[in-house]
A and B are shown apart, each in its own frame.
Chain A
């Protein structure tokens, strides 16, 4: 069965190549839809710490994120489809980050930029720092580094583009935003007496277990 499918796919590709030689362009709806989406990602104008400076540098002339179609930083979450969590998420800021993510329309993506956003980084043992934004919202791409260089952010952005272009529009493999039963908003943590409540969203956060 798999072999037949593979051969079908192969002959379709061959046909497409052959047709393109004669000036006929063929594509699938999914392909052209994802191609459009991945080349026009609008990030949210949103920075938290020193990583934001690297993010700004990435958008400027030298590194020029515009080459990837992501130069339109929107100042409203309603118009953005990518949130780059660039910097330390303090416990006081975490509810606002989740709220901003909730306010973005689907499909939406998250890049956790730098050691702080992915784990708390150098402030991991601090009383006031969230140990990774993936405790509350689903993260698509993690970038390590403190702060990551603009090249690393570009690499993360290209990884995200690859992820977008591979998303299925139908079938069981389709992404979260195309499954009606899955949430598009996530619970905003509240300021509790001893910290954020809850401390994580178990549906989103899948930490690595340390085997004894």
Chain B
């Protein structure tokens, strides 16, 4: 089994090169994974994602014919605080004052696809599609036209994270009821009954 498994570290670069050669204009970014598993992922641009996915499925070398898993990830707006020394006039004397500078990186949502090859017995290759933001721009192209197994899982990511998959044949909620408006797996979601829970109120009082 061991010799039939792709060395993932090399594969990420090889796959990136193969996609960029096959799909002109496609921009692939490698997101390294520092852990021992070394499962680096490939971030695809929206415009060429479907074409690149079709290439990965059909290429005789790669033949990634099985999409085992689609997952959603929520990245909140990240705030980085940095202490900066600034020269200021204090009582007419120029002194160095420490100021806290805050930089905010806007958040986004991510759809993660895990691909394997049944034919070649190798994998996984991890694809990521990132949305522009967590609001109106939470859109990515759907890969269901390429891998049918992504259909229900993209619906689940739509239901729980609010990622809109453009080109999905039947994008409806799959776990929550149709009237539901929220996306409960988002990190800032609070269930309505949790907002006024007496225990939570007591903890706040202690702080």
By a beta-carbon cutoff of 8 Å, the part of chain A in contact with chain B is 92, 125, 127-128, 131, 191-195, 199-200, 207-210, 212
Contacts and interface: CB of A to CB of B under 8 A. Distances in A.
10 contacts: A128-B184, A192-B180, A193-B179, A193-B180, A194-B180, A194-B191, A200-B193, A207-B198, A210-B201, A212-B202
A124 to B, nearest CB: 10
Main secondary structure, interface of A, reads: loop
Contacts of A195: 191-193
Given A127-B185, A194-B181, A195-B191, 17 more contacts: A92-B177, A127-B184, A127-B191, A128-B175, A131-B193, A192-B179, A193-B179, A194-B180, A194-B182, A194-B191, A195-B193, A199-B193, A207-B198, A209-B198, A210-B199, A210-B201, A210-B202
A28 B83 CA distance: 84
Taking residues whose C-beta sits less than 8 angstroms from the other chain, chain B's interface range is 10 to 19
A125, A192, A194, A199, most chain B CB atoms within 10 A: A194
A127 B181 CA distance: 13
A200 to B, nearest CB: 8
B192 A199 contact: yes
B205 interface: yes
Contacts of A199: 192-193
A191 B179 CA distance: 7
A38 to B, nearest CB: 36
Contacts of A125: 194
B22 interface: no
A199 B197 CA distance: 12
Main secondary structure, interface of B, reads: loop
B193 A127 contact: no
B181 A193 contact: yes
Nearest to A208: B198
Counting from the closest, the 5 A-B pairs by CB-CB distance are A127-B184, A191-B177, A193-B181, A210-B202, A210-B198
Nearest to A92: B177
Interface in B165-192: 175-177, 179-182, 184-185, 189, 191-192
A92, A208, A210, most chain B CB atoms within 10 A: A210
B181 A128 contact: no
A212 to B, nearest CB: 5
Contacts of A131: 193
Nearest to B190: A127
Contacts of A193: 179-182
Contacts of B181: 193-194
Contact of B192 (A128, A191, A194): A194
A128 B176 CA distance: 8
A192 B192 CA distance: 11
